[in-house]
Amino acid sequence: MAESVKRPRCGLAVAGVSAAWVALVAAGCGKGTPAGASAAAVSASAGGGSIAAGGEGASDGPSDAREAEAWQFARQGSEEDRMRLEDLVGCERLREAAETPTLRATAIQSMAYCPDFSALPWLVHVAASARGDEGIEALDAIVEQAARPRRATDPDDADELAEGCRALLALSRAPEQPRVRRVRAIRALRMLAERGCVNRADIPTELDAK
């Protein structure tokens, strides 16, 4: 899915950041990935640090070369690469990284593979408030999460699940929301109903194909 979030300015304040991480953020400023940003370059780089992208919305960069490489592959690669990123850094780290503009789209897409619903309220907030494709990307991540079969070993995330379902139901009912967002919200709610966080009878039906 195309990353349509607003790209930050290319002025970067860098302190002790690995070469691969610099290359990754630079790529977000409209530049191609330098030859030195290959996996070999990542392995050769060391250390980590914090980075300020355009002076706002910044968060800590990758803590080591392995994480920098995972972000690079996830940003340019496939669903499998984003799945590996989530497995490496975890859902909480993805949420933190989403505050960095150059990583935001990749972080949101990778949240589809979070093992629990701890990020659901935040994803619904993005889905309801973001402009352009970012809201759709958040909803696609929610749909992917909702589609996973329920397991006896699911984590205890009942509070976040309930909060997220309430917000998702509100989005599905909001006439001011674009139809494409409401349809995705309804699709997710119908799958989440089996988890008990929403009453199936409360889910809108007026957008169903006739």
Residue 50, pLDDT score: 36
More confident residue, 204 or 150: 204
Residue that finishes a domain, picked among 44, 69, 103: 103
Whether residue 108 lies inside any domain: the answer is no
More confident residue, 1 or 93: 93
pLDDT digits over 83-142, tens only? 999 999 999 999 999 999 999 999 999 999 999 999 999 999 999 999 889 999 999 999
Alpha carbon distances (Å) from 47 to 20, 22, 26, 68, 99: 11, 12, 18, 10, 21
Please, are residues 25 and 12 in contact by the beta-carbon 8 Å criterion?
yes
Q: Are residues 136 and 195 in the same domain?
A: yes
Q: Which two tokens stand for residue 110?
A: 């990778």
Q: Are residues 57 and 89 in the same domain?
A: yes
Domain that holds residue 79: 12-103
Whether residue 37 lies inside any domain: the answer is yes
Give the confidence band of 153 by pLDDT, cuts at 50, 70, 90. low
Q: Are residues 171 and 141 in the same domain?
A: yes
Q: Are residues 87 and 127 in the same domain?
A: no
DSSP one-letter code for 17? -
Give the H/E segment covering residue 14. strand 12-14
Q: Are residues 22 and 70 in the same domain?
A: yes
pLDDT digits over 23-40, tens only? 444 444 443 433 333 333
Please, are residues 108 and 137 in contact by the beta-carbon 8 Å criterion?
yes
pTM: 0.70
Q: Are residues 77 and 138 in the same domain?
A: no
How many structural domains compose the chain? 2
